[in-house]
Chains A and B, each alone.
Chain A
Amino acid sequence: MDIVVCVKTNPDLQMVRIKNREAVTEAVPYKIGDLEKNALQAAVDLRAAAGGKVTALCLAESNRKAAEDIKVALAMGADEAVVIDDPALAAPDQAAIAAVLAAAVKKIGACDLLLFGEGSSDNYTGQVGARVAELLGLPQIGYARKVEAADGAVRCERSMDDMIETLEAPLPAAVTVVSEINEPTIPGLMQIMKAKSKPLQVWALADLGLGAPAPVREIVSNLAEEQDRKNILFEGTVAEQADAFVNALIKEGVLGR
């Protein structure tokens, strides 16, 4: 079974700081997102059961080192990697990302199963998996916490509020996974060294026969939320302070609705 896993790299969120309500990403290294690692691990596990090939597919966006960073996916067990890196794609919207990924999946060719994380760790729109599936006309299952493949079909479990739903779709299909699905392995030095000689291709938009995307969505503002504090100080004994505090909360409508 041939599997393509869409893998995004994000600025390392632990290193991002907020300054003047904006994220400072200068000198912050990129990393493969955690959910994408879950998807990769799921692909590697499926390959162990069913054979085939795992390809990691990454749209570099603004990460100029994506071709380097994606080697972690190869070390984790992907057989090949494809990076799409094009200056016209530095800040694409979800529609453009999906169009490019769909074209890349077509170019890769053999793909029985297309895997995604449920969302990316930075913007977390949760749209890309569904959009790509739609563009490729594939059946899609979102938020899988278990994936199995057998007899030309994929069978997934997902948690609903009060039940576990089991869904099946014929292959080829697209599936997005949640973090409960597995514990991604941390590659050892030997795996990292072996990854070096695995095939890695970098494509530009022209290689996919695409032109620069016209954004249909524009980010008008993306600021950290700012909260005005009420700056109320309660005085008196602890009991009095507590009473006054609770009353204030009730008045604000926070308590006792």
Chain B
Amino acid sequence: MAESFASLKESFVFNFIEGARWKYITNGLLVTLKVTFFALLLGIVIGVVVAMIRSSYDKTKDEMQPGPGKWAMTVLNAVARLYLTVIRGTPVVVQLLIGYFVIFVSSTNTVFVASMVFGINSGAYITEIIRGGIMSIDPGQFEAGRSIGFNYIQTMRFIIIPQAFKNVLPSLANEFIALLKETAVCGYIGLMDLTKGGDVIRGRTFSAFMPLIAVALIYLILVIFFSWLVGKLERRLRSSER
């Protein structure tokens, strides 16, 4: 027992302390958090815009007057649907490779490329979350806004989206947690995230157990921590309702 503990300690020192190899882990963790955070931000922006396009089209297509407005809405809606279909119909690793080798070829900033790709990817899922949130709002809220004289966009901005957003906050937080794990494939484009950091140590020390288990533990702790936060948030939101 004491012997195995000693060898664990030795392995720990060898993998992380010598050559300051722990920096691969901490720097990687930072990259992972950065990519996740920026991707979520971008995803929310895309999600809100696409959700508004989709639900406004569904709501107004029957009564819109023919003309450039209707034509523009039809095109926008078609683009939105194409986006949703393509993003949700292809693996994120493939999107990442296409993003790096085809779309953002001129960029050497892999954090930027990964944030863009994961943001565009999660935007498709966040669209559905926000759309659900919009549909959960009492139609009377929409009518009240319109009856005051707000146009469609203003009604969304001041009245519907703030309420929908509050309703979907827990789902968005869960999307953050899912993203945190999904970004582990960033190594495919040479990004030194948490997973890649552990893998680099494995390559240097030729011992797989210690670095990979450490990486897994860090993910696990982060996920447990953020899930706990979401739980707290959900309870707070529920108690603030009537």
**Does B bind A?**
no
- Point out residues on B near A: beta carbons under 8 Å: none
